[in-house]
Each structure stands twice: as structure tokens, then as C-alpha cells.
Amino acid sequence: MNTQAKTSIFLLVALSSTHLFNDMLQAIISAVYPLIKSDLSISFAQIGAITLSYQISASIFQPIMGFLSDKRPNAYFLPLALIFTFCGLTTLAYADSFHAILISVSVVGIGSSILHPEAARLTSMASGGRRGLAQSIFQVGGNAGSALGPLIAALCIAPYGRENIALVALSAFAGIAIMIPICRWYRTNLHLLKHNKSAISTRIPHPLNRRQTIITITILMLLIFSKYLYMASINSYYTFYLIDKFGVSIPTSQIMLFIFVAATAVGTIIGGPIGDRFGRKYVIWASILGCAPFTLMLPHASLVGSGVLTFVIGLTLSSAFPAIIVYAQELLPNHLGLVSGLFYGFAFGIAGMSSAVLGYFADSCSVETIYQFCAYIPLLGIVAYFLPNLKKPF
């Protein structure tokens, strides 16, 4: 294996590990919702508002950070992101009011908005042309972190109290340590972006005309909407659903949530390479529409059946996002940071707004009703049929 290939693999693994720490810490928020609800006696609508505050702070800033990183790339955006996450979680551990909770999760959201666009750019730079695989490696770190969040909450926080969030937050510094070689590599290569005028002036042609690009991005946004509306129902309310319907304990519900998020990590690593091989359109289509039969069965399943179905749903649904991100980057190849920030931001925004709406829905009806309604959302995946083929099989 040549030196460049070794460097690329090292960078992708390091970026994936960074993503793991970031998303693990951010997943703590939704995993401790039962503790927050019990401590502060808040409603489901307020739980939704907490998610909305976190997701909106991330979604608003991500396209902005992506635009800024396109104009002025900086090697130290990544550690700055985890510093924000650490500060937000430490505040969350001791917040004694609903408004303090909102502020703390918003700070965590800002950390996410800083990390994702710049890390997505670095992932593309280190891909060696296999951008689907690179994006999957990066995403699987995030999904693995999201899976570990509920498990850590169940083992290290729920039995001992919310204050232990502050101890878990210290792991942010392990993530920062991993970022040091990434930052050094990036800093030494920034001249390729800042000072190589010929590289800057050579713009990659777009694969579609302006009208086709706008239509295609709209379809991708609709697919993101369907994916993250359903994901919001699981991430924010699945633990409450299991507690209400089956009478399980909080730690058990968090372990069940871990099963779902662990499945998303596996699905993510599968989606990118398949997209490289057969084309992103087919992965997106099969991923979102393909999980519909399982979401339709979930409201009628037993406890064990719910665990099996949510594993299959997570495995299937999660394979879409790496393909969507790379597809969008191929649509607008000269604006990698902006495109990545836009789609990450939109995904976070949809998740936040969906969680808030579903919270009011749960208060007025029931948590179980959420899953009866959301079961039909993946059927929107049919619109992937209208995506152009940007890459043919080889």
C-alpha cells in the first residue's frame, strides 16, 4: 500500500473517530430525556422544544459554517466544535430550569454545526476518489457514537443521576487529542486551497443544468424530510413508547434505543460502498422506501418484535444518508462545505421541528399514536424514482 493510500485510511479512521466522540456526546441529550422529564416535571411538548432548540441551533449554523469554511478553511474548527459540546453538556448536567436546559442544548448544537461541514470537506479530500466509501466511514463513526450515547446513559448516568453527564463530557478531550494529527495534516495542505490559484480557478463542471439541479435538490430535501421525520420519532420518543406500552425500566428502554442506533451504524457503512458500485439513486430509493413495510408493522409488534423491527428499520433507513450527501456533493462539486452544511443543517432542522410537533401530538393523543402515524412516512421514498442517474454501474 502506497504512502498516500495509508495517509487517506489513517485520516478517514481519525475523522470517523472524531465523529464518534462528537455524536456520542450529542446523543446523551435525547438519551437522558426521561431523567430530565422526571427531574423538572416537564411535558412531552417541552421535550420536543428541547430537541427543537438543539436541532435548530445546529441547522441554522451548519450552512453558514459550510459557506465560511469554503471561503476560509481553518484547521482548528474541529477541536473548537468539541469544546462547544463539552461546555453545553457540562451546563446540561447541572441545569435546574427548563430555560437553562434550552440554552445548554443550543450550545451543544453549535458544536455540531461547526464540526460536520468541515469534517465532510476533509472526508472528501481524503477519499482517494471513493467518496461513497469515505462518507460511509465518516458516517459510521457518528452512528456508532449515537449508538453508544444511550448505552452510556443507561450504564453511567441513569443509575447515578443527571450530574454524571459532566463526567461523560470529559471524553470530549479524547476526541480533541485524536484531532491533533488531522489538524496538522490539514494545516500543511491548506496551501492547496488558499494559494494554488490554478486549482482555485479550475471549476468542475456541474452534471446537470440549473433547472435540473434545483429539481433534484428539492427531491433530495423531500427524502431527507421523510427519513428524519421518522428518525425523530425514534430518537426522541421510542424510550417513552416502550415504557408506556410494555412497562420496561428506563435503562431497558435506553438499551432498546441502543439496538436501533447500533443498526444505523451498520447500515451506514453498507450504503456508501453500494452507492459507489451501483449508483446512489438505487441506494436512496431502496433505503427509504424499503423500510416502509417494517415501520407499518412496528405499532402492532411485541416487545421482542419491536426490537427486531427497529433494528431492521435502522439498518435499512440509515444507508440513505451517505448516498444523499455524496449525491449532493456531485451535483455541486465546487461547494463541498456549503452543500454538506446545507444538508446536515436541513436534516437537523427537520429532526428538531418534527420532534417538537410530535411532542404536542403525544400530549394530545398518546406516544403510541405517533408510531401509528409515522409508519406511513417512509412511503415518500417513492420520489427517489425521479432522481437522475449521476453514476452508472461499472
Tell me how far apart the alpha carbons of residues 285 and 102 are, in angstroms, rounded to a whole number: 36
Would 149 be classed as within a structural domain? yes
pLDDT digits (tens, 9 = 90+) for 275-325: 777 778 888 888 999 999 999 999 999 999 999 999 999 999 988 877 888
Residue 143 lies in a domain: yes
As a whole number of Å, the CA-based R_g of the chain is 20
Tell me if 77 is assigned to some domain.
Answer: yes
Q: How far is CA 292 from the centre of its chain?
A: 20
Which residues are CB-contacts of 273 (< 8 A; sequence separation ≥ 6)?
A: 130, 132, 133, 136
240: nearest Cα among 393, 99, 370: 370
Nearest to 238 by CA among 295, 166, 291: 295
Pairwise CA distance, residues 322 & 266, whole Å: 12
Q: Which residue has the cell 423491527?
A: 309
Residue 343: per-residue pLDDT: 76
Q: Looking at the domain assignment, is residue 135 inside a domain?
A: yes
- Residue 393 domain flag: no
Domain range holding 253?
3-386
The CATH number of whichever domain residue 55 belongs to comes to: 1.20.1250.20
Residue 324 CB contacts under 8 Å (≥ 6 apart), including other chains: 220, 223, 224, 280, 284, 343
Q: Which of 94, 79, 253 lies closest to 178 in space, CA to CA? A: 79
Backbone angles phi, psi at 311, to 5 degrees: -65, -45
What is the model's pLDDT at position 298?
95
Helices (H), 129-209: 131-152, 165-169, 172-189, 191-194, 197-201
The pLDDT assigned to 200 comes to 43
pLDDT at residue number 197: 43
Q: H or E element: which one contains 158?
A: none
Question: What does the pLDDT average to over 248-256?
Answer: 87
Percent of the chain scoring above 90 in pLDDT: 25
DSSP 203: P
Tens-digit pLDDT profile for residues 83-135: 999 999 999 999 989 999 999 999 998 998 888 878 877 887 777 777 777 87
In whole angstroms, what is the distance from residue 257 CA to residue 349 CA?
Answer: 21
Residues 295, 299, 304, 307, CA torsion sign: positive
| Confidence category of residue 333, pLDDT binned at 50, 70, 90 | confident
Secondary-structure percent of the chain, ordered helix, strand, coil, rounded to 5: 85, 0, 15
Does 178 reside within a domain? Answer: yes
Q: Does residue 392 carry a pLDDT above 50?
A: no
Query: What are the DSSP E strand ranges found in 50-129?
Result: none
pLDDT at 327 over 60: yes
Residue 391 is assigned to a structural domain of this protein = no
Pair 146, 258: CB distance under 8 Å: no
Q: What is the pLDDT of residue 86?
A: 95
Sign of dihedral through CA atoms 58, 59, 61, 65? positive
Q: How many domains, the chain? A: 1
Distance from C-alpha of 36 to C-alpha of 95, rounded to nearest angstrom:
10
224, 322, 319: which is closest to 19 by C-alpha? Answer: 322
Residue 244: inside a domain = yes
